[in-house]
Structure 1
Amino acid sequence: MRKIPIFSTIVAVAAAAVMVMLGFWQLGRADEKEAMIVASLAAAQQPDPLPWAEAVQLGEAAQYRLTTLPCERVLEMRAVAGRNASGQSGYAHSAICEVAEAGQAEAALGWSREPNGYSWDGGDVTGMITLTGPVELRVTASEPPSDLQPLAQPDPTDLPNNHLAYAGQWFFFAITALVIYWLAIRRRWRDEAKAAGAASQQ
């Protein structure tokens, strides 16, 4: 009579069950991310700028809304790789600003071909809010200073939503684990049958 090892079977089935649960969790995350993208697209279509104090209070919920960042003092200038509104590669110039309501915020000012030599004294920056900068809030200027070109504006459709693919991977892992375990059991049965046949011939 073929015997199924109880302990190893429980472990294999439990592991597969955990993988399936993770797959369904990723499906839920995919729905949440899709809802966030839809909400972000709606926010980007709002024509009225959000007051800066309200943007600070809303935090993540203020993403992709227009606002005016009051940069009271420039703490640091930065230049990182970036693209302009035409998609050309170059350098995005930004300022880490001191602001009363948020402590610090980043003003993404504009684009140039060269990384060095740009300075800015502060002031109001009107543009779209994101939370992707080195500090909590970032505003990408809609109209850059006269000596810079416009940066590529944040686009909610660029938000990654890979959760469906992750869910598929977890389901695939679960099926693969069960198939491998089943093949191992069958091989064990064949080995036992051969051993029993050899013993009966002696």
Structure 2
Amino acid sequence: MTEPAPPSTRRWPLVPTIIVLVAVAVMIALGVWQLQRKNEKEALIALFQRNTAMSATVAYPELPPVADAFLYRKSSVVCLEPVRWDPRSGTDREGMAGIRMIADCRTGAEGPGVLVDVGISDDFAPPKWSGGTVQGTIVPGPEQPTVMERAMGKGAPARAMLIANAPVAGLRASAVPSADDTPNNHFAYAVQWFLFAAAALVIYILAVRRRWRP
């Protein structure tokens, strides 16, 4: 007569459980970090809003990186000569689409130049403009490092750009970005990380319980 098989012991698998718990802890930490970034971004947007409301001018920051205290402030530069044109899509202050004419200007015999958005055109032909004094608003330049480049320390420092108050002859005034347009999706990212953590934990528990079924 054969003896009955001993009852199976139900034990949590140690190594997989540790791996899952570590992964869940990392996802929760990322969610908390996104909430912290949300508060930082809200403070940054508030700073930009205060800068927009200021009427006093500041010296144009020619050297990157540009401090946040300069963005959305009023300033002026002297463009001795536009050495390169960088046409990009954009809109004028009436909301009509067109081509932004961005000039990379020489400001001296040596040293860095400045980027100036001199207006909106209907085509890619650069305007007949040889330079001069430009008054406008400092905004982030068109070439900004990506999140991955910033995280890896490989992104070049971002340059600022001056959007001219008055466009050059033949162009329409470019729309000035609003401080409220600064992206702040960190709360949504935090919720996603928390949901990922909860989902991973639930899926793992269900998988272990399924393994225990006779």
The answer as to 2:101 corresponding to 1:78 is: no
The amino acid that maps onto 1:166 is: Y
Partner residue in 2 for 1:120: 129
Identity %: 35
- Within 5 A, what are the aligned runs for 1:14-163? 14-52=22-60, 55-56=61-62, 59-61=66-68, 62-100=70-108, 103-134=112-143, 136-163=159-186
Q: How far has the Cα of 1:117 moved from its partner?
A: 4.6
Q: How far has the Cα of 1:112 moved from its partner?
A: 1.9
- In structure 2, what is the Cα distance between the partners aligned to 1:88 and 1:65? 24
Structure 1 runs (4+) deviating above 4 angstroms are none
Q: How far has the Cα of 1:131 moved from its partner?
A: 2.3
How many residues align structurally? Answer: 189
1:107-164 Cα deviation digits (max 9, x unpaired) = 0000122221523101111111122234612000111113211111121111100111
Q: TM-score, with normalisation over the residues of structure 1?
A: 0.88
The answer as to 2:10 corresponding to 1:2 is: yes
Counterparts in 2 of 1:16 and 1:146: CA distance versus 1, 3 Å? same
Secondary structure in 2 matching 1:59: coil
CA RMSD of aligned residues (A): 1.7
Partner residue in 2 for 1:199: none
5+ residue gaps, structure 2 = 1-8, 144-157
- In structure 2, what is the Cα distance between the partners aligned to 1:12 and 1:51? 53
The answer as to 2:35 corresponding to 1:12 is: no
5+ residue gaps, structure 1 = 195-202
- In structure 1, what is the Cα distance between the partners aligned to 2:179 and 2:111? 23
- In structure 2, what is the Cα distance between the partners aligned to 1:111 and 1:10? 58
Structure with the larger helix share: 1
Counterparts in 2 of 1:56 and 1:76: CA distance versus 1, 3 Å? closer
Secondary structure in 1 matching 2:197: helix
Q: TM-score, with normalisation over the residues of structure 2?
A: 0.83
For the 8 Å contact 1:59–1:137, the answer to whether it is kept is yes
- In structure 1, what is the Cα distance between the partners aligned to 2:202 and 2:66? 47
